[in-house]
Amino acid sequence: MKRFFLASALLALAFSALAQTQDPLDRDQSKYATYSFSNDDKYTVETPYETVTVVQPKGKKVKNVIFMIGDGTGLSQWSVGWVANGGALNVDQMPVAGYSRTYCTDKLVTDSCAGGTALAIREKTKYGYIGVDENGEPVESNLQYAKRKGMKTGVTVTCRINDATPADFCIHGTSRKDEEGLAAQYVDANVDFISGGGTHFWNQRSDGRNLIEEMKAKGYTYVDKLEDIAGAEGDKFLGLYDEYDLKPALDRGPILLESTKKAIEMLDNKKGFFLMVEGSQIDDWCHRNKVGYAIEELFDFDKTIGYVLEWAAKDGQTLVVVTADHNTGGLTLLKGSIEERTVKVHFSTKGHDGIVVPVFAFGPGAEAFSGVHENSEVGQIVRKLMK
């Protein structure tokens, strides 16, 4: 009998260990859920955050552009987040809304490379292409155009900085798998403010180069901790906070918000600036079909939107655009409660889908984004308003 109980106990421990090693991200943390997080289709928010109130500026001049991308974030993600935060989001304050069709030249359902590139270079391209046209030729992005005009430029993201979306705006390539090659292009990209993850591709490279030291030699202030962002000095900024992508939203802290604040502080000048901000991991957690993590990433992004809107409302010459490169997860809101801030959802896929995504706009020129657009047209409108 003792042998039976001992064997049963060992078997139970083995199953428990197996369950714990299947997915290290499947954690039971009260800060992400009020129940076992194995129920990835449900989520309850205990404490909602306060949202801002802003008034659309009356001016017409566009001096600055803050282009914000919620990776994989469609109408469903915004709807689920709205319920979970008790019926209020900062993006609600943006007075103009439209839609963007996200297909690329060779596939109906795009990826972040082609989807982001269309927004950045103003033309559609092939699946997997980064900052190049469908023939693989580099095309000047809106960020690079801003730099050529004498404006300051920046990108801040929660993924590795050499991942698809930031690369779409800053550099060029035909494969996201060339991660070391993409990272190396940043040394000569002359982007004033760079913030994200991916140190592995900067100082643990197969070619022995230390790109961080090369950037410091070019005058960049290097930061690798959240608490050091606010105090960073100088005209150029490089922030890399993790070896690969950043940790989940509630684990990493407000890096996206604080880096966006710092970017605006450092980039603001008489000639204007172009800043791309990405809520990168909304997409990642929709791929994993984990609604709680996805919502917290969306909240992190929306809190950053709130700060940007308040700053832009005071500035009066800043166009703010919020959109997505594509939709992810086939997310459906099945039921929930606004009062109880609870949702139950269904994911129909772990991949992308071809549903249109929203485009929100605030500031001078915002009305141009109303209606239905190709994703490339969204980039075209931004370029026109920058002239």
Q: What is the residue whose two structure tokens read 């007075």? A: 95
Angle between helices 255-267 and 291-315 (to 10 degrees): 20
For residue 26, what pLDDT band results from cuts at 50, 70 and 90?
A: very low
The C-alpha angle with vertex 123 and arms to 122 and 125, in degrees rounded to 5, equals 135
pLDDT for res 315: 98
| pLDDT at res. 39 | 67
Look at residue 7 and tell me whether its pLDDT is greater than 80.
Answer: no
pLDDT, tens digit, 9 for 90 and up, residues 302-312: 999 999 999 99
pLDDT at 234: 96
Closest to 332 in 3D by CA, of 74, 8, 152: 74
pLDDT value of residue 16: 41
**Entry pTM:** 0.91
pLDDT of residue 89: 98
Average pLDDT over residues 174-202: 97
pLDDT (0 to 100) of residue 40: 86
pLDDT for residue 215: 98
Of 7-16, 148-157, 184-193, 372-381, the range with the lowest mean pLDDT is 7-16
| Banded model confidence at residue 86, pLDDT cuts 50, 70, 90 | very high
Q: What is the pLDDT of residue 168?
A: 98
Instruction: List the catalytic residues.
Output: 112
Distance, in Å, from the CA atom of 315 to the CA atom of 260, rounded to the nearest integer, reads 16
DSSP conformation letters of 47-75 = SPPP-------------EEEEEEETT--H
* Cα–Cα separations (whole angstroms), residue 373 to 100, 210, 238: 5, 42, 34
pLDDT in tens, 235-284: 999 999 999 999 999 999 999 999 999 999 999 999 999 999 999 999 99
Average pLDDT, the chain: 92
Assign 387 a pLDDT band (cuts: 50, 70, 90).
Answer: confident
**Beta strands 152-160; 193-197: pairing state:** parallel
29 pLDDT higher than 80: no
Residue 359 has pLDDT above 70, yes or no: yes
Helix H or strand E encompassing 375: helix 375-386
Q: Write out pLDDT tens, residues 137-155.
A: 999 999 999 999 999 999 9
Query: Which amino acid makes up residue 375?
Result: N
Residue 343: the pLDDT is 96
Average pLDDT over residues 354-383: 98
Instruction: Order the strands of the 273-279 sheet from edge to edge.
Output: 220-223, 236-240, 193-197, 152-160, 273-279, 64-70, 318-323, 357-362, 96-101, 371-374
Amino acid at 342: T
Q: Return contacts of 162-165, CB within 8 angstroms, 24+ apart.
A: 162/186, 162/198, 162/201, 163/112, 163/196, 163/198, 163/245, 163/280, 164/111, 164/112, 164/113, 164/116, 164/130, 164/325, 165/69, 165/71, 165/112, 165/116, 165/276, 165/278, 165/280, 165/325
Residue 24 has pLDDT above 90, yes or no: no
Q: Which CATH superfamily is domain 41-386 in?
A: Alkaline Phosphatase, subunit A (3.40.720.10)
**Interatomic CA distance for residues 23 and 199, integer angstroms:** 24
pLDDT at 288 over 70: yes
pLDDT at 88 over 50: yes
Q: What percent of the chain is modeled with pLDDT above 90? A: 89
CB 156 within 8 A of CB 256: yes
Task: Tell me which residue of 315, 371, 375, 367 sits closest to 66, measured CA to CA.
Answer: 315
Reported as type and span, the H/E element at residue 327 is strand 327-328
